[in-house]
């Protein structure tokens, strides 16, 4: 049974939707907990009040999608790509996002506390009021992105790069970071890029 057929039954937990291709939908109030979306493709979809808790979403693609009040806690997003997506009031707490990419996205008032995003990427992305407390972002990079009102408290930022990004109102108590921090609302393009590469020896 495919995704659209399962929506009619209202029971979408613990389902396998691998390789599904979905476009032009508006979904609200669904529970997709523990479901699998390997190599799935989503385009022009609005997700509102959707519970993705502990879903497995490797190598999936989301293009021009909107997520409002969605729960991604403990989701596994290996090599997943979000392109031109909008997130508001979403929780990624404890999510695993290895090699995940956010390209030209907006991430607003969302929680990534204790998430693991190793070697991930935020490219051309706007982040405002995002909580990365206790998250592991080691090896990730923020490129041509804007970060405002960001909580990096006790965040692992080792080997993180902020190339050509703008940072404003950053909280970084006990953050792990190599070298000079590019905080304080200063655009990195006005300074040598090596100031914004968190490189060092573990």
| Three-state DSSP string of the chain | CCHHHHHHHCCCCCCECCCCEEECCEEECCECCCCECCCCEEECCEEECCECCCCECCCCEEECCEEECCECCCCECCCCEEECCEEECCECCCCECCCCEEECCEEEEEECCCCECCCCEEECCEEEEEECCCCECCCCEEECCEEEEEECCCCECCCCECCCCEEEEEECCCCECCCCCCCCCCEHHHCCHHHHECCCCC
Q: Which pLDDT does position 1 carry in this prediction?
A: 67
Q: Which pLDDT does position 199 carry in this prediction?
A: 54
Q: What is the CATH number of the domain that holds 169?
A: 2.160.20.80
Residue 112 domain flag = yes
Q: Which pLDDT does position 7 carry in this prediction?
A: 83
Q: Which pLDDT does position 171 carry in this prediction?
A: 92
- The rounded distance, in Å, linking the Cα atoms of 158 and 161 is 9
Q: What are the phi and psi torsion angles at 183 (to 5°)?
A: -85, 180
pLDDT along the chain (202 residues), means of 10: 80 92 95 96 97 97 98 97 98 97 98 97 98 97 95 94 91 85 50 47 44
Q: Which pLDDT does position 194 carry in this prediction?
A: 42
Residue 49 domain flag = yes
Residue 80 domain flag = yes
Total domain count, the chain = 1
Chain center to CA of 92: 7
Question: 167: domain range?
Answer: 18-196
Residue 8 domain flag = no
Are 151 and 128 within 8 A, CB to CB? no
Q: Which pLDDT does position 192 carry in this prediction?
A: 40
Residue 83 domain flag = yes
Residue 1 domain flag = no
């Amino acid at each position: 049974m495919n995704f659209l057929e399962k929506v009619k039954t209202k029971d979408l937990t613990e389902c396998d939707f691998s390789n599904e291709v979905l476009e032009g939908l508006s979904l609200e109030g669904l529970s997709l907990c523990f479901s699998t979306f390997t190599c799935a493709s989503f385009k022009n979809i609005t997700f509102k009040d959707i519970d993705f808790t502990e879903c497995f979403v490797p190598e999936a693609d989301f293009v021009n999608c909107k997520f409002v009040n969605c729960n991604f806690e403990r989701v596994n997003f290996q090599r997943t790509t979000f392109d031109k997506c909008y997130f508001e009031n979403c929780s990624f707490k404890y999510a695993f996002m290895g090699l995940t990419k956010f390209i030209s996205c907006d991430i607003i008032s969302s929680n990534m506390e204790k998430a693991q995003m190793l070697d991930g990427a935020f490219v051309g992305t706007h982040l405002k009021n995002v909580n990365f407390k206790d998250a592991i972002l080691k090896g990730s990079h923020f490129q041509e992105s804007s970060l405002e009102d960001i909580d990096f408290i006790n965040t692992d930022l080792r080997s993180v790069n902020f190339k050509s990004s703008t940072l404003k109102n950053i909280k970084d108590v006990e953050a792990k970071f190599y070298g000079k921090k590019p905080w304080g609302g200063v655009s990195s393009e006005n300074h040598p890029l090596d100031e914004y590469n968190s490189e060092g020896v573990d």
